Structure 1
Amino acid sequence: MERGSPDAFAEQGTLGVEEEFFVVDEAGYPVSGSDELVYEGERPARLADRLDHELFKTVIETQTPKSESLAAARENVHAVREALVEYAAEHGFRVAAAGLHPAARWRELEHAEKDRYRAQLERIQYPQHRNTTAGLHVHVGVDDPDKAVWVSNRLRWHLPVMLALSANSPYWNGYDTGLASARAKIFEGLPNTGMPTAFADYEAYQRFENRMIDSGSINDRGELWHDVRPHSGHGTVEVRTPDAQADPAVVLAFVEYTEALVTDLSERYEDLAAPDGTDGCMRREVLDENKWRALRYGHAASFVEREGTGTVDLGEVVDRECDRLGVSGIRDVYDADSGATRQRRVLESEGLDALCRELLV
């Protein structure tokens, strides 16, 4: 069983991006293609060891190489995407992205045959059988395990902000859920997901991780699927909150924001003489409320503030964060319509065929 190590946390500020995509036909409808692309095809060099399937044979994941800077991360995101689109086309497929595919019907889709996923289906049953989700994961290297836990604790308030901005999955199983990100709610049906609790230090987190493995609750540390986690294999803080996106500019806005948050928090950690892992952290229940607001309302969400009893609109948070951190991408994302809004508009005005084309990468 795979376990992590504190020794993994050795580099500060490196970046890695994992994106989940739907394999679709020429018209943009989901099809089974991961076996052919992952196992049977001859991958281009850019995708060597950078391509994997997920639970359903219509979902595929890419991983960028480790990047030493934001500029390198941008290049790698574009390069990996371009390679995937070209490779898929060579095999008669196209690629689409959203938190959930509006044309996907989970009962009609094939599951991957990998032992890991078969074991999950047997253990989790219905919640995993219906898990047709696709997300965006951003890794930022942190050079100390206790710092990684401290940063993860304090990132939690920002996760609903990212979810609201990324909300791109109003439809599930052919139904308008009324949510901006139904993916977030579907995924929360699995065990060990959602907003994590705060941990005092890395030792406390490692005890939790090992206890979950030793008790048979999970098969390996990778099955702790919380919205943020200290990744004890890669030595990163991994943010797993956003919906998948067709537009690389939106992806890179979240990479920029996540990198800025981790850098800012890491610098503040260094300034503290004896940082307390959980001191000043909000209750998980309040953070869950903020997540609910994000997945329900998307760009129209407001959030319970970290201090006091008031709320703050997403737009105000975006302005504040851009000014504080010197980022701009999330403002562009906020100023545009959300993915959920665009999907509803296209479906209502042009129909499902047009919406499937809209999600093509």
Structure 2
Amino acid sequence: MSLEAFHDSEALTLGVELELQLVNTHDYDLAPYAEDMLRLMKKTPLPGSVVPEMTSGMIEVSTDICRSSSEVLSQLTPIRDALVRSADKLNIAVLGGGTHPFQQWHERRIYDKPRFHELSQLYGYLSKQFTIFGQHVHVGCPDADAALLMLHRLSRYIPHFIALSASSPYVQAHDTQFDSARLNSVFAFPLSGRAPCVLTWAEFEQYFDKMTGTGVVKSMKDFYWDIRPKPGFGTVEIRVFDTPLTIERAAALAGYVQSLAAWFLAEQPFTPQEDDYLVYTYNRFQACRFGLEGEYVDPVSGEHLPLREHILRTMDRIAPFGEAHGATSALQLLRAETLDGQNDARWLRELMGREQLLAEVTRRAALRFRG
């Protein structure tokens, strides 16, 4: 199978996908209500789409094409409200967060869809362990070569995306000591990690042909990379975000991505190279483990500095581009919480410290999602 052509896309447009948790309102464990939610959600005209995910206690929503983070929020708001109304009818709740704090993976049911059953046969128990919840952000690129440059430039900022969105400190009722434990489940898949450092679409097509020639992959869907090109949409797709606890933070993260991408397109600030990836895995681990308190190693200078400082420096650099694209309020929200060392993982831990009951933490997270 050959790689599909890279479709035309308006540069710097945005699309956001959110994987969300469905929980009962008895003990706040995951509940297998995806099919019922899909049936109810069909009754309300909404932007984007609502689709099932790997297991039946999950659902994924997405926006249409947006041109600003405020438009992302304006689309997510009615989607969120419809989700809440539908959940109320079923006596369940919807929430964000990268992992459910205490669900047991072996109790999950694979959603009845051919691709999910195929993945379950291939990956075994990893399929049920993939009951994790992420935000994906698509950013439009003017052409295929620009998309690859965008992908590799964005890769330097993967630790930013992880630390700012981290919301998965708890797994199976244990504090993992990670801010984003969700990504440990993603890394277990054989085609996860980083894309190959090729900078032209012709080279990428050659790589894709080699991979399909091995029989290991059939389409771009088979790559679980942190960032991957999405030729059918004319975008690159960032996949490392945990699902935030609020749609406001989800929209702000999209604004951050758009502001970075606008800087890249306007100034071409650096040429990606293979050596950018010398410290990639280390930086990614630091962000997953310690969140905003992690360490960042500059891949060019070798400078070590606090990740929070690197994020704040970057926010200063891209502020004019954020302003030009209506993302100033998004950047201000993220900047204020970065200065305070606050992300969703910290909010969850602080709440657990007070309540000492993960079911109550989950209930409160569901209330927070309602707005």
Q: TM-score, normalised by structure 1?
A: 0.91
1:33 matches 2:33: yes
Q: Residues of 1 paired with 2:289 and 2:281: CA distance?
A: 12
Q: Residues of 1 paired with 2:210 and 2:132: CA distance?
A: 27
Q: Residues of 1 paired with 2:29 and 2:187: CA distance?
A: 25
Structure-2 residue corresponding to 1:311: 304
Map residues 94-113 of structure 1 onto 2, 5 A cutoff. 94-113=93-112
What is the CA deviation profile of residues 176-229 of structure 1, one whole-angstrom value per residue up to 9, with x for unaligned ones? Answer: 222111101111101221233321211222333344344332342122121111
Q: Residues of 2 paired with 1:203 and 1:230: CA distance?
A: 13
Map residues 30-69 of structure 1 onto 2, 5 A cutoff. 30-38=30-38, 40-41=39-40, 43-47=42-46, 50-69=49-68
Q: Residues of 2 paired with 1:139 and 1:174: CA distance?
A: 32
Per-residue deviation at 1:116? 0.4
Q: Residues of 1 paired with 2:162 and 2:127: CA distance?
A: 21
Whether contact under 8 Å (1:24, 1:58) holds in the other structure is: yes
Q: Residues of 1 paired with 2:315 and 2:100: CA distance?
A: 31
Q: Residues of 2 paired with 1:219 and 1:119: CA distance?
A: 13
CA distance change for structure 1 residues 11 and 127 in 2, over 3 Å: closer, same or farther? same
Structure-1 residue corresponding to 2:326: none
| More moved, 67-76 vs 156-165 | 67-76
Of 339, 355, 358, the match for 2:361: 355
1:183 matches 2:187: no
Whether contact under 8 Å (2:73, 2:248) holds in the other structure is: no
Whether contact under 8 Å (2:277, 2:299) holds in the other structure is: no
1:344 matches 2:343: no
Whether contact under 8 Å (1:252, 1:329) holds in the other structure is: no
Of 322, 325, 337, the match for 1:333: 337
> Secondary structure of the residue that 1:110 maps to in structure 2?
coil
Per-residue deviation at 1:266? 1.6
Q: Residues of 1 paired with 2:141 and 2:202: CA distance?
A: 16
Per-residue deviation at 1:231? 1.0
| More moved, 82-91 vs 247-256 | 82-91
Structure-2 residue corresponding to 1:299: 292
CA distance change for structure 1 residues 3 and 84 in 2, over 3 Å: closer, same or farther? farther
Whether contact under 8 Å (2:9, 2:235) holds in the other structure is: no
> Secondary structure of the residue that 1:359 maps to in structure 2?
helix
1:333 is matched by which residue type in structure 2? E
Whether contact under 8 Å (1:104, 1:132) holds in the other structure is: no
Whether contact under 8 Å (1:29, 1:103) holds in the other structure is: yes
Gaps of 5+ in 2: 320-330
Map residues 1-361 of structure 1 onto 2, 5 A cutoff. 3-6=3-6, 8-27=7-26, 28-38=28-38, 40-41=39-40, 43-47=42-46, 50-269=49-268, 278-279=272-273, 281-326=274-319, 327-334=331-338, 335=340, 337-350=342-355, 351-360=357-366, 361=369
Per-residue deviation at 1:17? 0.5
| More moved, 319-328 vs 329-338 | 329-338
Whether contact under 8 Å (1:197, 1:284) holds in the other structure is: no
CA distance change for structure 1 residues 68 and 348 in 2, over 3 Å: closer, same or farther? closer
CA distance change for structure 1 residues 124 and 212 in 2, over 3 Å: closer, same or farther? farther
Q: TM-score, normalised by structure 2?
A: 0.89
Q: Residues of 2 paired with 1:186 and 1:70: CA distance?
A: 29
1:343 is matched by which residue type in structure 2? L
1:316 is matched by which residue type in structure 2? E
Gaps of 5+ in 1: none
Q: Residues of 2 paired with 1:206 and 1:200: CA distance?
A: 11
> Secondary structure of the residue that 2:236 maps to in structure 1?
strand
Q: Residues of 2 paired with 1:52 and 1:305: CA distance?
A: 39
2:292 is matched by which residue type in structure 1? H
What is the CA deviation profile of residues 115-164 of structure 1, one whole-angstrom value per residue up to 9, with x for unaligned ones? Answer: 10111111122322311210011111111100000110111010111101
| More moved, 343-352 vs 242-251 | 343-352
Per-residue deviation at 1:315? 2.3
Whether contact under 8 Å (1:23, 1:32) holds in the other structure is: yes
Runs of 4+ aligned residues of structure 1 deviating over 4 Å after TM superposition are none
2:265 is matched by which residue type in structure 1? S
Q: Residues of 2 paired with 1:90 and 1:57: CA distance?
A: 18
Whether contact under 8 Å (2:17, 2:60) holds in the other structure is: yes
2:365 is matched by which residue type in structure 1? L
